[in-house]
Amino acid sequence: MPMSKVSRVMATPWHRHLPSGIEPAAIDLLAERSLPQAWAQRWAEAPDRDLLFMEQQGWLSAGAFDRATRAVAGRLHAAGLRRRDRVILSAAPSVALVKAYVAALRLGLVVVPLNPGYREREVTHVVRDAEPPAAIVDDAERGAWIRRAAGNALILGPDVELPDGNVADLDDLDAGDPALICYTSGTTGSPKGAVLAHGNLLASAQAIRLAWRWSDNDRLVLALPLFHVHGLCVGLHGTLLAGGSAVLQPRFEPDAVLSAVRRQEATLFFGVPTMYHRLARSPRVTELGRLRLCVSGSAPLAPALWERIRRESGQHVVERYGTTETLMNTSNPYDGERRPGSVGMALPGVQVRLDGEVPGEILVAGPNVFSGYWRNAQATADAFDSQGWFRTGDIGRLGADGYLRIEGRVQEVIISGGFNVYPREVEEVLLTHPGVAEVCVVGTPSEEWGETVTAFVVPVDQSPEPEALLAFAAERLAAYKRPRTVRFLNALPRNATGKVVRRELPA
């Protein structure tokens, strides 16, 4: 049988992630029913354990966190919020935000994380689609935008300052109950809400806990945003499930990360490749060697960067691969070869295969995979193949040894610093500028960001000032989506059917 046929049907062997002596048949990723139930169990077992640290506030114990989240859940309940009600969460990382998030999940609310860097146009789209009765935000202007889009929404600060209340059935959740709606863009340019159930969150957190040997002795430096699955479903959920602890940082800053590693005796760091690029440039890069484990994801980690970190700190970064809709799919093994340029093999419970020829589209199945987009049957139908496997939109190559390599995308997407930018959305915004006749947005390779956003613009007559065009974009797009470079052309290169031929754009 030719190699391509074998790869196409092969599901990758995830048992290779398990510690020796543990059989796949003995693993039930959903045994604990839901994360809130599992977390509450950990807090009850060791209430005095350190759980969450933030500069200025010091350590919060597991027992105190349990009580605080119970109190916040009581207040949200007293304010009239009930199971399955959506609540927007949009704030910089803080202990208050984490408490509000966990309280909402314990109560059975469905959390809609929203990037606090979004402009009104982006906020309005999400709010109109999700129709949340409440929002927790750390900025009055954003609160006003939400109220404008959802007339009677209750707008709260991260401290959830409301009258106290009691709630009897906390943590009473089943695998199928919705937990999160994460908005993720698509080729249509307008984001759609991926509904993740409690079972998806639990299965994925258990898989990485097992694969990365995450224990209650571990301490994570968590400097990722808490409005994407990387920071939330990998960093925070994993910490709470393992019974470990986390040092929360308000934003990523290499010195602050390395100081936290030293002062708080951290054992884990997770980041996107741009973070590793900045850490590698720090004169303190050797200090990464103190950590038990460093994991990279959300965008490709250049093998040269992987090698540089290994050389200078001794750290063999584990690269893993995920998507919003499936949470974590694959990882390099904890024990075994950590191969630069590869995203490793399927995580416990996850099945990965390729569709069609090799390289082909990466398909994923398993208890980690979401069941659909919020109120969008068409997008949901398009997201799965005829056998119910999720189409990731990533193109990959699967080796006979189970290691997966990502080689491209089915559709245009730019990944800048770990954030996905859909060219279509940026194009649609720029096209509303009166001086723009045509536009094509592409990714330009960048060592630091992976890719940056470049716009090729055909003006109506005279070219608008690039600064004016960028200011126009800044009103309507979050900073990471804005073009870094604008280039003017007389015409876009098009093929016979009128489609823009991106590879023929000037370099």
Dist. CA 401–CA 408, nearest whole Å = 21
Stretch in the footprint of ligand AMP (CB under 6 A) among 240-248, 294-302, 334-342, 364-372? 294-302
Q: In a 3-state reduction of DSSP, which class is residue 339?
A: coil
Taking the least distance from each CB to ligand MLC, the nearer of 267 and 452 is 452
DSSP state of 448: T
Interaction residues for ligand AMP, span 334-353 (CB under 6 A): 343
Interaction residues for ligand MLC, span 250-289 (CB under 6 A): 251-252, 272, 274-275
Which option in ligand AMP, ligand MLC, none does residue 300 bind, with CB closer than 5 to 8 A by kind?
ligand AMP
Q: Which of 392, 416, 452, 454 binds ligand AMP (CB under 6 A)?
A: 392
Q: Count of residues binding ligand MLC (CB under 6 A)?
A: 23
Task: List all residues 6 or more positions away from 498 whose beta carbon is below 8 Å from its beta carbon.
Answer: none
Q: How far is the CB of 295 from ligand AMP (least distance, A)?
A: 10
Q: Phi and psi for 37 in degrees, rounded to 5?
A: -65, -45
Stretch in the footprint of ligand MLC (CB under 6 A) among 258-266, 366-374, 411-419, 462-470? 411-419
Residue 287 engages ligand AMP in binding (rule: CB under 6 A): no
| Radius of gyration of the chain measured on its C-alpha atoms | 23
Taking the least distance from each CB to ligand MLC, the nearer of 246 and 272 is 272
Taking the least distance from each CB to ligand MLC, the nearer of 186 and 418 is 418
Stretch in the footprint of ligand MLC (CB under 6 A) among 212-220, 235-243, 394-402, 416-424? 416-424
Place of tokens 């630091």: 448
Dist. CA 14–CA 388, nearest whole Å = 20
Per DSSP, what are the bridge partners of residue 61? 50
Dist. CA 436–CA 432, nearest whole Å = 7
Dist. CA 364–CA 358, nearest whole Å = 16
Q: Alpha carbon 480 to chain centroid distance?
A: 15
Which option in ligand MLC, ligand AMP, none does residue 488 bind, with CB closer than 5 to 8 A by kind?
none
* Bond from prior residue into 47 cis (ω within 30 degrees of 0): no
Which option in ligand MLC, ligand AMP, none does residue 95 bind, with CB closer than 5 to 8 A by kind?
none
Which option in ligand MLC, ligand AMP, none does residue 275 bind, with CB closer than 5 to 8 A by kind?
ligand MLC
User: What are the b/e assignments for 453-471, b being 16+ CB within 10 Å?
Assistant: bbbbbebeeeebeeeebbe
Q: Count of residues binding ligand AMP (CB under 6 A)?
A: 17
**Spatial contact of 79 and 109, defined as CB atoms under 8 Å apart:** no
Q: How far is the CB of 403 from ligand AMP (least distance, A)?
A: 13
Residue 184 engages ligand AMP in binding (rule: CB under 6 A): yes
Q: Which of 68, 91, 137, 299 binds ligand AMP (CB under 6 A)?
A: 299
Q: Alpha carbon 10 to chain centroid distance?
A: 27
Our CA angle for 267, 272, 278, nearest 5°, is 85
Q: In this structure, are strands 58-61 and 50-54 parallel, antiparallel, or unpaired?
A: antiparallel
Q: Which of 12, 323, 371, 454 binds ligand MLC (CB under 6 A)?
A: 323
Residues in the chain: 507
Q: In a 3-state reduction of DSSP, which class is residue 62?
A: helix
Per DSSP, what are the bridge partners of residue 397? 405
Task: List all residues 6 or more positions away from 414 whose beta carbon is below 8 Å from its beta carbon.
Answer: 420, 421, 422, 423, 441, 442, 443, 451, 452, 453
N- to C-terminal Cα separation, the chain = 42
Taking the least distance from each CB to ligand MLC, the nearer of 230 and 353 is 230
Residue nearest to ligand AMP (CB): 324
Residue 126 engages ligand AMP in binding (rule: CB under 6 A): no
Stretch in the footprint of ligand MLC (CB under 6 A) among 118-126, 410-418, 437-445, 495-503? 410-418
Residue 199 engages ligand AMP in binding (rule: CB under 6 A): no
User: What are the b/e assignments for 302-316, b being 16+ CB within 10 Å?
Assistant: beebbebbbeebebe
Taking the least distance from each CB to ligand MLC, the nearer of 164 and 475 is 475
Interaction residues for ligand MLC, span 199-258 (CB under 6 A): 224-225, 228-231, 251-252
Q: How far is the CB of 70 from ligand MLC (least distance, A)?
A: 29
Q: Which of 7, 90, 200, 323 binds ligand AMP (CB under 6 A)?
A: 323
Interaction residues for ligand MLC, span 338-357 (CB under 6 A): none
Per DSSP, what are the bridge partners of residue 344? 404
Give me the amino acid identity at 451.
E
Taking the least distance from each CB to ligand MLC, the nearer of 178 and 450 is 450
**Spatial contact of 218 and 49, defined as CB atoms under 8 Å apart:** no
Stretch in the footprint of ligand AMP (CB under 6 A) among 77-85, 298-306, 462-470, 498-506? 298-306
What the block records as the tokens of 427 is 């194009």
Stretch in the footprint of ligand AMP (CB under 6 A) among 110-118, 164-172, 202-210, 297-305? 297-305
How many C-beta atoms lie closer than 10 Å to residue 41's C-beta? 13
Q: Which of 7, 115, 245, 324 binds ligand AMP (CB under 6 A)?
A: 324
Residue 406 engages ligand AMP in binding (rule: CB under 6 A): yes
Dist. CA 220–CA 235, nearest whole Å = 8
Inter-helix orientation angle 35-45/95-107, to 10°:
120
Taking the least distance from each CB to ligand AMP, the nearer of 242 and 272 is 272
Residues in contact with ligand AMP by CB under 6 A are 184, 297-300, 319, 321-324, 343, 392-394, 406, 415, 420
Residues in contact with ligand MLC by CB under 6 A are 224-225, 228-231, 251-252, 272, 274-275, 297-298, 322-324, 416-419, 449, 479-480
